[in-house]
Amino acid sequence: MTTLLQLFSVAAISAGAFFFFAGTVGLLRFPDSLTRLHALTKADNLGLGLVVLGLLPRAENTLSALKLLVIWALVLLSGASTAQLIGRALRRGRK
């Protein structure tokens, strides 16, 4: 693995970890349920996405790389749908 790819990998994974940190800070410090939901979904999409992007150069074969992408796609799908579900619950005043 070339140095450039290694550097890219480290950068992407660090950025992913930062987004998880940002998501947690948002979840703990934002004033309102809907804003906290916003922070949560950023951790889902960007946090995991950047981590997967950083791990892609390290995949041994196409199948492993595809598996990483499938995991990210699943989390994107379920994250988006559950954000809708939670948002609707909040809008209707469910506690």
Partner 1 sequence: MNELLLAAAGLIVLTVAIGLARILRGPTDVERLMAVQLLGTGGIAALLLIAYATNVPGVEDVALGLALLAPFATIAFINLLDADQGDAEV
Partner 2 sequence: MSVLPVLDVVLASLVIGVALFTITARDLFASVVGYVAYGLLLAFVWIRLYAPDVALTEAAVGSGVTGVLLITAGKRLGALKNAAPEMRPGLSLKILTGALAALVAGALGTAILMLPDPPPSLAPEAAAAASGAGAGLENPITAVLMSYRSFDTMLEKIVLILAVVGVWSVGADKAWGRAPAPLRQSRPYAPMVLLARTLAPVGVLIGIHIFWTGADAPGGAFQGGALLAAMWMVTMMARLAGPPRIDAQWLRMAMVAGPAVFLVTGLAGGVLAGSFFAYPPGIAKPIILAIEAFMVLSIATALPMLVVGPPSERPDQ
E-state strands within the chain: none
Residue number with CB closer to partner 2 (7 or 74)? 74
- Cβ 83 to partner 2 shortest distance, Å: 9
Convert residues 16-55 into a mask of x (bound to partner 2 by CB under 8 A) and - (unbound). Answer: ----------------------------------------
In whole angstroms, give the CA distance from residue 92 to residue 25: 26
Task: Confirm if 27 and 40 have CB atoms less than 8 A apart.
Answer: yes
The site for partner 2 (CB under 8 A) is made up of 70, 74, 77-78, 81-82, 84-85, 88
